[in-house]
Structure formats: structure tokens, C-alpha cells
């Protein structure tokens, strides 16, 4: 009766291009876009290439950094990230960001990355992740066999995405408590009120994964990264 054979296809080129140069390619040290404070991002139809900085914490192609609810209204849509030296899009301590219709290809480490476990209300919809590479110098141990979609808090919307050629397509490392990164000197008492392990699932629906080590892995009580 035949075997269904389908491939994921994504257009990588855009008219607006943010890219590293030949030196970036040699050193694996490319550019980054970071939103901090009350920063907003409205990114559409943009190509990012030769970006991110290999092995450097916090230096990702697109990085929402500790915005909290100020992430509301920010989005990255219909854009591409290819040949990234350090992840694809990182949402760190930020809520209510929309990532929709993006295509990523050839990234080192986890690609769509929710970092601490306190990120909620974000929407990851109709994105495509193709080819993630492991690294001998991981930021977290799991980067040795990287994940296309790393979702640390259940209270997010993950709908209609596709992932191929990753260590794991979708991984929910569910922490007992958030694990802070880059918060030296901050009062973190508010994190004591957050328990991803006991947070109801938002939405996980219509996602596809294949050609990966495993497709969906939910790990309750994840202890450390």
C-alpha cells in the first residue's frame, strides 16, 4: 500500500538580512539581538544568518532577557535563523511573547529555548526547526544532544510546530522550582511561589516531530541543567 514519505520544507531567504561576516563564520562569533528592561521586539520577515556566539552564556541570535510581563506584545514572526552558533530564540524570564511562522536551520544547542522555568503565556505556533547540532562545550549538559523545543514551564502554548533532526524534538524538563540564570544580586524570593511541576499544562497540540532521537519527552522533577 506504500509508505507515506513527507519532508519538512521551509523558505530560508528574506529580503531583510542580519548576518555575520566571514570572520564570524571562522570564529563562530556572530551578532545578537537582545531585549532587556522594558524593551519590545516586533520582528517580521527577517533573515538572521551566522549569528550567536558559541559557548557564551546569554549571547543568542534573538534573546528576550528577564522582561517579565513586559514581554507582552513582542513577537518574532515569519523570520529565519540559519547557521546559528548558539541556539535560535531564547525566552528568559519573559512572558507573553509570540513566536510564529519562523524557520530555523543548523543551530548549535537547543533551538527554541525557554530558560528558567518561570516563563509563562508565551505562544510558539507554526515554527519549523531543522537540524540542531551538539557541542563539546555545552551551556547545559543536554546541549550535547540538543532539543528543538525546550519548554521549562507547562503554561505556554505550543501549537502546530514541526521539528526534525534533533536529539529530541520536544522536551518538557519540568522543574520543582525555577532555576535562575544570570540573576546575581537580585531578590529571587518571588520564585518560591512558582512550581512548574504543579502548573497546569497550557496547550500542546498539532505538533510534529521526526528524524530525531526521540520525539516528546516529559521529565517531571528535573533537578538541574
pLDDT digits (tens, 9 = 90+) for 91-123: 999 999 999 999 999 999 999 999 999 999 999
Query: For residue 214, is pLDDT > 70?
Result: yes
Query: For residue 73, is pLDDT > 80?
Result: yes
How far apart CA 25 and CA 23 sit, in angstroms, is: 5
How far apart CA 123 and CA 120 sit, in angstroms, is: 9
Q: What is the mean pLDDT of residues 186-208?
A: 94
How far apart CA 212 and CA 168 sit, in angstroms, is: 6
Q: Which three cell numbers stand for residue 153?
A: 514551564
What pLDDT does residue 130 have?
97
Query: For residue 224, is pLDDT > 60?
Result: no
What pLDDT does residue 7 have?
84
Q: What is the DSSP letter of 55?
A: T
Query: For residue 1, is pLDDT > 90?
Result: no
pLDDT digits (tens, 9 = 90+) for 112-168: 999 999 999 999 999 999 999 999 889 999 999 999 999 999 999 999 999 999 999
pLDDT digits (tens, 9 = 90+) for 19-37: 999 999 999 999 999 999 9
Query: For residue 173, is pLDDT > 70?
Result: yes
pLDDT digits (tens, 9 = 90+) for 44-68: 999 999 999 999 999 999 999 999 9
Q: What is the mean pLDDT of residues 74-101?
A: 98
pLDDT band at 225 (very low <50, low <70, confident <90, very high): very low
How far apart CA 213 and CA 86 sit, in angstroms, is: 20
Amino acid at each position: 500500500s506504500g509508505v507515506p514519505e513527507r519532508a519538512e520544507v521551509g523558505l530560508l531567504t528574506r529580503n531583510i538580512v542580519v548576518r555575520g561576516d566571514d570572520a564570524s563564520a571562522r570564529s563562530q562569533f556572530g551578532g545578537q539581538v537582545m531585549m532587556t528592561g522594558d524593551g519590545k521586539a516586533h520582528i517580521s520577515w527577517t533573515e538572521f544568518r551566522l549569528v550567536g556566539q558559541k559557548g557564551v552564556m546569554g549571547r543568542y541570535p534573538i534573546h528576550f532577557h528577564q522582561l517579565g510581563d513586559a514581554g507582552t506584545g513582542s513577537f518574532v514572526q515569519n523570520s529565519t535563523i540559519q547557521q546559528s552558533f548558539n541556539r535560535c530564540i531564547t525566552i528568559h524570564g519573559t512572558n507573553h511573547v509570540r513566536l510564529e511562522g519562523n524557520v530555523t536551520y543548523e543551530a548549535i544547542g537547543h533551538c527554541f529555548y525557554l530558560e528558567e522555568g518561570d516563563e509563562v503565556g508565551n505562544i510558539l505556533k507554526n515554527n519549523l526547526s531543522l537540524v540542531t547540532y551538539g557541542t563539546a562545550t555545552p551551556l547545559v549538559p543536554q546541549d550535547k544532544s540538543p532539543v528543538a523545543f525546550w519548554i521549562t514551564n507547562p503554561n505556554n502554548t505550543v501549537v502546530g510546530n514541526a521539528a526534525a533532526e534533533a536529539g529530541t524534538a520536544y522536551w518538557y524538563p519540568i522543574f520543582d522550582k525555577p532555576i535562575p540564570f544570570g540573576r546575581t544580586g537580585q531578590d529571587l524570593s518571588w520564585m518560591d511561589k512558582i512550581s512548574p511541576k504543579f502548573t497546569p499544562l497550557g496547550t500542546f497540540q498539532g505538533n510534529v516531530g521526526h528524524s530525531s532521537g526521540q520525539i516528546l519527552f516529559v521529565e517531571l522533577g528535573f533537578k538541574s541543567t
